[in-house]
């Protein structure tokens, strides 16, 4: 039922529909055409404007600046506003007080959960569990939509191979295949089967494109890469999101081939719409049109023209469209069709969300009591978090801990609930997160005594600490001298059977505008670790981080390391589950951990050089460094378990395969440990000779298998022509006859191998 649209629009809609076949696409077209027929140019331009909620306060929405703009039809959507009651109040202005009563779309950065916060996306990817990842997006959609939101600026699928870049934490790591599978799972989780349902929301894949390849890992920096690399390595996850039906795409801040993404017609029209068939709308990133001025593309009018002509539909915050498009049209610099196209796509999105049918669809005032931060959601968050942790090292079976004796819990992140959320948690109540201390107390039981000492600040540099303590996530710097804190920690450690050291980065040391030039553990924390080791007690390092850290020293000296990223609401409970062995860790890395910052970029799926180092480091005139080997500390795909897994009997069902056929790969996996556990088995290929240089290994399949101790399973993978194909130098998707290696195992380095030939 159409409740709020004007009589005029309703009449046009009904008349038109009665003469058309009532198939949904037709209904949409007829409705939108009818609506656009009665829109003024100003109203059309207004639809392209996406401000933040700004000065809106409850009860005063109409009189706010934004309220006034909405009444004038100058706003298409709003973001950074939440709660059903507040959004209802603002929506009411749009659908009652503006001339055409067009509903607004309400967006938000719902990145890894809403009130129930899930692990940061990089951590989520380490579960390699698509069902869980999709579930996390589905819950995020349910909670956000119960709070009035119908559009999320997620998933972020930027391939990132430079851990200096803080936003590596927001994506799925370094691999295009895994990134693509995750992109699909996230889009399907948010959007569900029915976008008009009140518990699903529209996704927005970002940042299109190549944002993760900023030079030197410095945020917003220049990106420049070959088309070949784009097509084969960086574009696949965006395309996977488009293929999964994502409703919107966000442009990136960076240049692509010298032109900022928001003004790049090749990117937004030739590639996205014409080649990939995307039929949703394109929104810019925050003030990205205006930033084209600093990129050196012209003044506000000029860059707004470039953006609309390139295929940008909605202008986030900058108001370049609102301020200049009419003038550009009057001067003949752009066409009315450019504006119509953009307006139409935004109206289509609103239609697809069901907002014309019921603009208050996502404003049910009761749902926030039943659908947000529920026990069920928290239980799933706890499970997902425990599966995202990666056990990097576990000498002498230091883990799991026994549920008896005394634990010394030491470190700047041991008793900090707020920083468990990770960056981009816009709706979480940070104080409600479970800290590690609280989690250990919850899970340990009555036979364990937990002693606590802070031991160190995040860093000795108060300036750096201040820069990473924003957004309501305090690090609570301790002003005592470092030596006093260390002495207290040693005294505490001496009373215990085992030391759990909670160290690493706080939430905001990664994320947007949080690039680092050195990704080692801060020196003062390493000093504390050295002192703790001197006590002779076993040390377990629980490492909090939003990026791979260069932990060569730690990997050589600390007996046990559990990398826990930022686990969200239930972090502490989930860590305790793993530390005490109630959950057997199964996470595997989706980014390489380098030895030092100078090795960056270091990623498993690189091309070979003409002088590869094949044996031991160092060999003169081979591709290597004088001061460090080429090896990572921990490779892509790596992660330990409390069980051990053995791979044997890798076999292929044929030694030759044609392009129209497929090949079956099978391997037997056995849990040779004493406890049940899950193993992520990975399949990689290498195309040995092709018309262009191909990666030394490429992930082409994976599966996660749960096995009881002693249990074996035969795993099957199928390779089709598609998995053997790539973009050649003419950017054509081809497979080329020749030999391929297949590798299967528990990481990108530890594999059994076989080979086969692709024939015409």
Catalytic residues: 285
With CB atoms as reference, the residue minimizing the distance to ligand BGC is: 153
Nearer to ligand BGC, 170 or 465 (CB): 170
Residue 541's CB is within 10 A of a number of other CB atoms, namely 27
Nearest to 116 by CA among 135, 88, 99: 135
Q: What is the CA radius of gyration of the chain?
A: 27
**CB of 316 vs ligand BGC, minimal distance in Å:** 7
Question: Is the Cβ of residue 237 or residue 701 nearer to ligand BGC in the bound state?
Answer: 237
Q: Which is nearer to ligand BGC, 142 or 206 (CB)?
A: 206
Q: Are 301 and 324 in contact (CB under 8 A)?
A: yes
Phi and psi, residue 112, nearest 5°:
-140, 70
Please provide residue 215's backbone torsions phi and psi, each rounded to the nearest 5 degrees: -60, 135
Inter-residue contact 703 to 677 (CB < 8 Å): no
The nearer residue to ligand BGC, 321 or 684, going by C-beta atoms, is 321
Q: Is the dihedral of CA 553, 555, 561, 562 positive or negative?
A: positive
Residues 6+ away with beta carbon under 8 Å from 378: 116, 569, 570
**For residues 186 and 155, is the Cβ–Cβ distance under 8 A?**
yes
Q: How far is the CB of 256 from ligand BGC (least distance, A)?
A: 16
- Considering the complex, state which of residue 122 and residue 490 has its C-beta at the smaller distance from ligand BGC: 122
Between 206 and 686, name the residue whose CB sits nearer to ligand BGC: 206
Please, what is the minimum distance in Å from the beta carbon of residue 94 to ligand BGC? 21
Could you give the angle at the alpha carbon of 51 between the alpha carbons of 46 and 55, nearest 5°?
120
CB crowding 310-342: b at 16 or more within 10 Å, else e: bbbbbbbbbbbbbebbbebbeeebbeeebbebb
For ligand BGC, the binding residues (CB under 6 A) are 109, 153, 206, 285-286, 512
For residue 171, what are the CA distances in angstroms to 124, 212, 703?
Answer: 9, 9, 20
Which 3 state secondary structure label does DSSP give 699?
strand
Whole-angstrom CA distances from 662 to 125, 215, 350, 581 are 28, 40, 42, 41
Nearer to ligand BGC, 453 or 516 (CB): 516
CA proximity to 63, closest of 39, 82, 36, 90: 90
Distances (CA, A) of 560 to 63, 384, 536, 565, 587: 59, 22, 14, 16, 15
In this structure, what token pair is assigned to residue 475?
């690090």
Distance CA 51, CA 72 (A): 14
Instruction: Specify the residue, 223 or 502, whose C-beta has the smaller distance to ligand BGC.
Output: 223
106 contacts 349 by C-beta, under 8 angstroms: no
d(CA 350, CA 341): 15
CA pair distance 114, 147, nearest whole angstrom: 10
Smallest separation (angstroms) from ligand BGC to the CB of 285: 5
Cβ nearer to ligand BGC, comparing 127 with 423: 423
Question: Contact 286/316 with Cβ under 8 angstroms?
Answer: yes
Q: Which is nearer to ligand BGC, 80 or 644 (CB)?
A: 80
Is 109 or 175 the residue whose CB approaches ligand BGC more closely?
A: 109
Cβ atoms within 10 A of the Cβ of 446, count? 7
* Sheet order of strands, 677-687 included: 656-658, 751-759, 738-745, 677-687, 698-707
Tell me how far, at minimum, the Cβ of 215 lies from ligand BGC, in Å: 17
The dihedral through the CA atoms of 142, 147, 152, 156 has a sign that is negative
Residue 622 CB, shortest distance to ligand BGC, in Å, is 40
Paired tokens of 147: 């709070």
**Any idea what the Cα angle at residue 515 is, between residues 509 and 520, rounded to 5°?**
70
Given a contact cutoff of 8 angstroms between Cβ atoms, the answer to whether 454 and 411 are in contact is: yes
- What is the DSSP secondary structure assignment for residue 267, as one 8-state letter? I
Give the nearest distance from C-beta 208 to ligand BGC in angstroms: 11
Peptide bond into 129 cis (omega under 30): no
Number of separate helices (H) and strands (E) present in the chain? 23, 26
- Two structure tokens written together for 566: 């930022």
Supply the minimum distance, in Å, between the C-beta of residue 425 and ligand BGC: 13
Give the C-alpha separation, 480 to 474, whole Å: 17
- Using alpha carbons, select from 219, 316, 202 the residue that is nearest to residue 262: 316
Residues near 231 by beta carbon (within 8 Å), at least 6 away in sequence: 727, 731
Q: How far is the CB of 187 from ligand BGC (least distance, A)?
A: 16
Question: Least Å distance between CB 307 and ligand BGC?
Answer: 16
Nearer to ligand BGC, 30 or 50 (CB): 50
Q: 195: closest CA among 443, 24, 80?
A: 24
For the bound state, the minimum distance from the C-beta of residue 66 to ligand BGC, rounded and expressed in Å, comes to: 16
Burial class (CB in 10 A: 0-12, 13-18, 19+), 69: buried
Q: Compute the distance between CA of residue 376 and CA of residue 496 in angstroms, rounded to an integer.
A: 36
Q: Which is nearer to ligand BGC, 513 or 518 (CB)?
A: 513
Q: Identify the DSSP state of 216.
A: G
């Amino acid at each position: 039922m159409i409740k709020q649209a004007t009589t005029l629009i309703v009449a046009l809609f009904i008349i038109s529909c009665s003469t058309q076949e009532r198939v949904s696409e037709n209904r949409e077209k007829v409705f939108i055409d009818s609506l656009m027929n009665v829109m003024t140019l100003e109203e059309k331009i207004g639809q392209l404007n996406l401000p933040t909620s700004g000065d809106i306060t409850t009860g005063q929405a109409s009189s706010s600046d934004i309220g006034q703009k909405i009444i004038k039809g100058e706003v298409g959507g709003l973001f950074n506003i939440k709660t059903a009651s507040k959004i209802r109040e603002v929506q009411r202005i749009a659908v009652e007080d503006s001339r055409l009563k067009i509903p607004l779309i309400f967006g938000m950065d719902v990145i890894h959960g809403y009130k129930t916060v899930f692990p940061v996306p990089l951590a989520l990817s380490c579960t390699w569990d698509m069902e869980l990842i999709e579930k996390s997006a589905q819950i995020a959609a349910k909670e956000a939509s119960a709070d009035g939101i119908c559009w999320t600026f997620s998933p972020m699928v930027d391939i990132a191979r430079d851990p200096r870049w803080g936003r590596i934490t927001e994506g799925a790591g370094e691999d295009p295949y895994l990134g693509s599978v995750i992109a699909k799972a996230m889009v399907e989780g948010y959007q569900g089967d029915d976008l008009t349902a009140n518990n699903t929301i529209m996704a927005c894949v970002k940042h299109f494109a190549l944002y993760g390849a900023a030079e030197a890992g410095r945020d917003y920096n220049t990106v420049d890469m070959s088309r070949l690399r784009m097509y084969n390595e960086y574009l696949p996850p965006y395309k996977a999101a488009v293929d999964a039906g994502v409703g919107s795409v966000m442009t990136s801040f960076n240049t692509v081939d010298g032109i900022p993404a928001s003004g790049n017609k090749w990117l937004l029209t030739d590639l996205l719409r014409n080649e990939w068939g995307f039929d949703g709308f394109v929104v810019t990133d925050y003030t990205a049109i205006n930033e084209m001025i600093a990129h050196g593309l012209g003044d506000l009018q000029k860059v707004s023209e470039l953006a609309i002509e390139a295929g940008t539909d909605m202008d986030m915050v900058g108001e370049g469209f609102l301020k200049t498009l009419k003038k550009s049209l009057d001067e003949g610099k752009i066409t009315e069709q450019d504006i119509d196209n953009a307006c139409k796509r935004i109206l289509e999105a609103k239609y697809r969300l069901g907002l014309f049918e019921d603009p208050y669809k996502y404003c049910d005032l009761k749902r926030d009591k039943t659908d947000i931060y529920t026990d069920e959601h928290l239980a799933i968050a706890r499970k997902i978090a425990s599966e995202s942790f990666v056990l990097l090292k576990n000498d002498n079976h230091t883990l799991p801990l026994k549920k008896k004796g005394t634990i010394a819990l030491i470190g700047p992140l041991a008793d900090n609930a707020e920083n468990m959320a990770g960056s981009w948690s816009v709706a979480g109540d940070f104080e409600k997160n479970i800290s590690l201390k609280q989690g250990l107390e919850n899970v340990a039981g009555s036979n364990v005594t937990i002693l606590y000492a802070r031991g160190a600040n995040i860093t000795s540099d108060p300036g750096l600490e201040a820069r990473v303590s924003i957004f309501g996530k305090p690090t609570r710097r301790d002003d005592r001298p470092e030596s006093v804190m260390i002495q207290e920690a040693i005294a505490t450690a001496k009373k215990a059977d085992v030391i759990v050291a909670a160290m690493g980065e706080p939430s905001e040391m990664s994320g947007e505008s949080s690039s680092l030039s050195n990704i080692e553990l801060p020196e003062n924390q390493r000093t504390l670790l050295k002192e703790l080791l001197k006590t002779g007690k076993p040390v377990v390092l629980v490492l909090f981080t939003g990026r791979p850290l260069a932990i060569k020293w730690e990997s050589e000296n600390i007996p046990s390391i559990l990398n826990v990223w930022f686990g969200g609401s239930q972090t502490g409970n989930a860590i305790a589950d793993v530390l005490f062995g109630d959950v057997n860790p199964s996470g595997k890395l989706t980014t390489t951990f380098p030895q030092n910052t100078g090795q960056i970029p270091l990623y498993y799926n690189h091309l070979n050089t003409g002088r590869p180092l094949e044996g031991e480091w160092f060999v003169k005139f081979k591709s290597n460094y004088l001061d460090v080997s080429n090896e990572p500390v921990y490779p892509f795909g790596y992660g330990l378990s409390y069980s051990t897994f053995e791979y044997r009997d890798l076999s292929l069902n044929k030694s030759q395969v044609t392009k129209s056929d497929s090949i079956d790969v099978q391997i037997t996996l056995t849990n040779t440990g004493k406890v049940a556990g899950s193993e992520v088995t990975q399949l990689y290929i290498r195309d040995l000779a092709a018309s262009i240089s191909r990666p030394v290994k490429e992930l082409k399949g994976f599966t996660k298998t749960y096995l009881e101790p002693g249990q074996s399973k035969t795993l099957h993978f199928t390779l089709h022509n598609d998995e053997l194909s790539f973009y050649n130098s003419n950017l054509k998707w081809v497979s080329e006859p020749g030999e391929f290696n297949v590798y299967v195992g528990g990481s990108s380095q530890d594999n059994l191998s076989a080979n086969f030939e692709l024939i015409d």
